[in-house]
Chains A and B, each alone.
Chain A
Amino acid sequence: MTDTGIGASVKRVEDQRFLTGNGNYTDDINRPDQSHAWILRSPHAHATLKSVDTSKAEAAEGVIAVLTGADMAADGVGGLPCGWQIHNKDGSPMLEPGHPPLAVDKVRYVGDQVAIVIAETRDAARDGAELIEVDYGVLDAVIDMDGALAGGSLVHDNVPNNRCFDWELGDKNGVDEAFSKADHVVSIDLVNNRLIPNAMEPRAAISEFDRSTGQYTLYTTTQNPHVIRLLMGAFVLQIPEHKLRVIAPDVGGGFGSKIFHYAEEAILTWAAGKVHRPIKWTAERSESFATDAHGRDHETHAELALDKDGAFLGLRVATKANVGAYLSTFGSSVPTYLYATLLAGVYTTPVIYAEVQTVFTNTVPVDAYRGAGRPECTYLLERLVNKAARELGIDPVEIRKKNMIQADQYPYQTPVALQYDCGDIPASFESALKAADYTGFEKRRAASEKDGKLRGIGISTYVEACGIAPSAVAGALGARAGLYESAQVRVHPTGSVTVFTGTHNHGQGHETTFAQLVSESFGIPIEHVEISHGDTDQVQFGMGTYGSRSLAVGGPAILNACNKVIDKAKKIAAHIMEADVSDIEFADGKFTVAGTDKEMAFGEISLAAYVPHNYPIEEIEPGLDENAFYDPLNFSFPGGAHICEVEVDPDTGTTEIVGFTAVDDVGRVVNPMIVAGQVHGGLAQGVGQAILEGCVYDDDGQLLTGSYMDYTMPRADNLPSFSVATQSVMGASNPLEVKGVGEVGAIGSPPAVVNAILDALAPLGVEDISMPTTSQKVWQAIQDSNVRQAAE
């Protein structure tokens, strides 16, 4: 046994370099003879490019080249691809308009790329961009989804009504029938607010081209270097894998926004092949706001049918999802298969029907952001269930308990495609109610009232699908890639180990957690283990990190490779200790012959594998280096209960979150400290969405929340001291029995916060409020309610 195996709260080994300023981020890297790029972006949300005159810029001092969409088109460069094909209700495929990396005929959002200026210095590139004369033919912009669907201005000429697709899932007739028999129908209209991701490190890239080998290299801030190599190489630039190396070094946060293949990656790589110089580009913070793919942005109408006792009979959902100006890499899958397939939630609703329209608008593309589809789904369900409880006069706890899937019902087949493999939400819920002292709430409410404050408590119970994804299932649903993961476990001669993983660590702590898996498996301390990731020339293959998949899918790949190593090592041990392989046992880092005192240490076997003097050479090869690809059998299904308590100041509308309890089932916990940290971070983002964050474009498509003066991020003083705990049911469909924790906080928390605020405001007659529930909005809701009540 080591004290660094599964279950140990090992301190994060990567923090040493991050906290001492020794991280190696893309912008820290400088290549010999490096030049610098500036991207000229459209200031208009929608305009034709009548002319782009680069002559003055090209003549400017220090400028090496100025390239435009016309140059790219002349070189036959392709458009940025979408990774998931969705079909319309009638079976026809979604419309996929072209997405040129540099705009060719039209610009479609503020920030769309118009030209790249490559110069000796960043300032020279920027000054050069000032000299480019662009003649825009300004067109009407379409910003809101209803306006876009009504026609008018078309973002893409070949997409009528700006509708990308009109998709459905579930049993429409069955739902109609359920509603016809219902005693109560509760309906709700919700907006899931558009968010700007705000990773701490802005996007950056360095491209280079080696004229001697014809090899391209791209350093980029991505969560999935192999996916970028695949998409950019095969679809955009036609560079085969063996001539394209993608390196994602330390990456300072992604939250989904660094999954996607961005235009700048393709532009820089292509341009390096033209100017034969390495090119560096680093986004400014204002570019991050304007051009990183945004998240959420749904408008939903939903109806829940109930019988007279409050049992759910059916659910009907109609959602409009904004995909922005172009289809980003996973923009089509987020509002469909990552959203509507979770609409059963934690409940036994027997029939469900959902229809989703996705809409092009003159805004930056919208794609996955921490939770991706599942926060939108959870928010909808938990707001709707609370509204049903209120309308039917049932306690929000009771209505949930009444309809919740019970532990003995797993595996549970939902009416919307997914089969939950294991879980026990009622147990998490009970624990959360106890931890939050739910029964003592009225006392606390009375105490707050004495202080002139309105106190409220809000519940959210949720389940999500992660561990993305079983390739065959994903493929059947339209994914254009496999979603397995790979690992290589290289045991060195003296017994230290390097693990190559296809996932990517950008804050999750993989270098610690994954090393703990190896420590556990081989019985060696984690100091003997190095986790290598992010370089396509080092790591055999991988699909990257998103959808809480790294441990659930990448972990078993590591485990399987470790087991292959142990199997081979046993053969070596059997040979040297002159025993039968079936008699070799391996525990605590030692190979022993059963029933004898013969033993060899892990390092002795690895040395024998590389110095094979006494070795079963006729049976096995020298070396101790194994790889494994793991494709999961099912998604994994973390879930749990979040309870939020707030105090609202009725005079100012200011909300203080005074308590937040989360009890989550994340399966087996490898590192409890990292799990708690992930939940804390997710909760902070969920609270941010609930009370602070909201992206606003004006009617002309100008981004009004484009800096920290106008876009509010959660800060420490917006958050309480969280009470978090895990309560797990083992049995997830992977050998580690892990479920994933990266997204649970952001998925479960927003409705808990909003339900708490509505509970606080309920005595004043406030029934609805939209995120973000800013002080101004809360105050306004109170005033409107006063006016309404005075009139009645």
Chain B
Amino acid sequence: MEMSGEYKIEAPRNKVWAALNDPQVLKQSIPGCEEIEQTSDTSFTAQVTAKVGPVKAKFSGAVELTDIDAPNGYRISGEGKGGAAGFAKGGANVKLEEDGSGTLLKYEVDAQVGGKLAQLGARLIDGTAKKMASQFFENFAEAVAESDGKETAAPEAEAAPAAGSDTTPLAQVSIGTWVVGAIIALGIIYTLVK
């Protein structure tokens, strides 16, 4: 599956970048994200619970960062294991561009799913992933606006829960985690709904 898109965020790039550095913002933005944990300088895990109607599923993803070019972009790749449901792996190229007073976030995703995820969800992944993407950006834009308002308050304090959570890579990784996670989540959803 391949998916690309862009999303305009009404905040300057440095604000967007700051928000991307804020794990609270990301946790708020990624639908169903419960946990983000750094396992090394360039690798992370995330746990995401996806819920659709009566169906709820938890999955974990491991993500690696390459080609870091802060604050312009990076290549992020990962693999998520859904147990008996199969696997999802893939990568995303993410770019931040200045666009007038706002910021344009561009992404290109390539992903591969296997096992039951492919068997039951393959042809529906595109539509569902797009829907989840718009949900993410909606949440994210809202969170950016909020953090903008509280900027002078205590940005450091918000980052307290996770060690090193205010470092640049974490924020970038989390987006990739969401991408892989979204794929896994919808696969599991179709598995359970079938």
A residues at B contact (CB < 8 Å) = 38, 40-44, 110, 126, 129-132, 284-286, 289-290, 698, 700, 702-704, 706-707, 709-710
Contact of B87 among A43, A131, A289 (CB under 8 A): A43
Does any Cβ of A come within 8 Å of B123's Cβ?
yes
Q: Give the residue of B86, B114, B119 whose beta carbon is less than 8 angstroms from that of A707.
A: B119
Q: Are A286 and B112 also in contact (CB < 8 A) when A130-B83, A130-B84 are?
A: no
CA distance A38 to B116 in the complex (A): 15
Whether the pair B112, A126 counts as a contact (CB closer than 8 A) is no
Q: Cβ of B124: which chain A residues have Cβ within 8 Å of it?
A: 709
A706 touches B120 (CB 8 A): yes
Q: Report whether B84 and A706 are in contact in the complex, using a CB–CB cutoff of 8 Å.
A: no
Instruction: Check if A704 sits within 8 Å of B84, measured CB to CB.
Output: no
Chain A residue numbers with a CB within 8 Å of B123 are 704, 709-710
| Bound form: Cα–Cα A42–B118 in Å | 12
Interface flag for B32 (CB, 8 Å):
no
Main SS class of interface, B: helix
Cβ-defined contact, B84 with A126, below 8 A: yes
Chain A residues within an 8 Å CB radius of B191: 286
Q: Known contacts A285-B194, A707-B194: does B86 contact A43 (CB below 8 Å)? A: yes
Using Cβ atoms and an 8 Å threshold, which residues of chain B touch A700? 112, 114
Grouping DSSP codes into helix (H, G, I), strand (E, B) and loop, the A interface class, with mixed when no group exceeds half, is loop
- B73 interface residue, CB < 8 Å from A? no
In the docked arrangement, what's the CA distance between A40 and B115, Å? 11
B119 contacts A702, CB within 8 Å? yes
Chain B residues whose C-beta falls within 8 Å of the C-beta of A130 in the assembled complex: 83-84
Q: State whether A289 touches B119 (Cβ < 8 A).
A: yes
Q: A-B contact count, CB below 8 Å?
A: 63
Residues of A within 8 A of B112 (CB): 700
Is there a chain A Cβ closer than 8 Å to B122's Cβ? Answer: yes
B118 contacts A698, C-beta separation under 8 Å: yes
Cβ of B113 under 8 Å from chain A: yes
Q: List 26 A-B contacts (CB under 8 A).
A: A41-B84, A41-B115, A43-B86, A43-B116, A43-B117, A44-B87, A129-B83, A130-B83, A284-B194, A285-B194, A286-B119, A286-B191, A286-B194, A698-B118, A698-B122, A700-B114, A702-B114, A702-B115, A702-B119, A703-B118, A704-B122, A706-B118, A706-B120, A709-B120, A709-B124, A710-B123
The 3 residue pairs across chains A and B that have the minimum distance between CB atoms: A43-B115, A706-B119, A130-B83
B189 to chain A, nearest CB (A): 14
Contact of A290 among B87, B119, B194 (CB under 8 A): B119
Known: A42-B115, A130-B84, A710-B123. 15 other contacts (CB 8 A): A40-B84, A43-B86, A43-B87, A43-B116, A110-B114, A130-B83, A284-B194, A286-B120, A698-B118, A702-B119, A703-B119, A704-B119, A704-B122, A706-B116, A706-B119
What is the bound-complex CA distance between A40 and B84, given in angstroms? 6
Q: Cα distance A130–B191 when bound, in Å?
A: 14
Indicate the member of A40, A43, A702, A709 with the most B CB atoms within 10 Å: A43
In whole angstroms, what is the CA distance A709 to B119 when docked?
Answer: 10
The winner among A40, A41, A129, A707 for most chain B CB atoms within 10 A is: A707
Instruction: Tell me how far the C-beta of A711 lies from the nearest C-beta in chain B, rounded to whole angstroms.
Output: 10
Minimal Cβ-Cβ distance residue in B for A703: B119
Bound-state Cα–Cα, A704 to B116, Å? 10
CB nearest neighbor in A for B112:
A700
Smallest beta-carbon distance A231→chain B, Å: 28
Of A289, A703, A704, most buried by chain B (CB within 10 Å of CB) is A703
Shortest B50–chain A CB gap in Å is 15
A123 to chain B, nearest CB (A): 12
**Closest-CB distance, B88 to chain A (whole angstroms):** 10
Complex Cα–Cα for A447 and B117 (A) = 49
Min Cβ gap A467→B in Å is: 38
Chain A residues, CB < 8 A from B84: 38, 40-41, 126, 129-130
Report the minimum CB–CB distance from A129 to chain B (whole Å).
Answer: 5
One digit per residue, 1 when the CB lies within 8 angstroms of any chain A CB and 0 when it does not, for chain B 64-93 equals 000000000000000000011011000000
Interface centre among B87, B114, B120, B194 (most CB of A within 10 A): B114
Chain A nearest CB from B1 CB (Å) reads 10
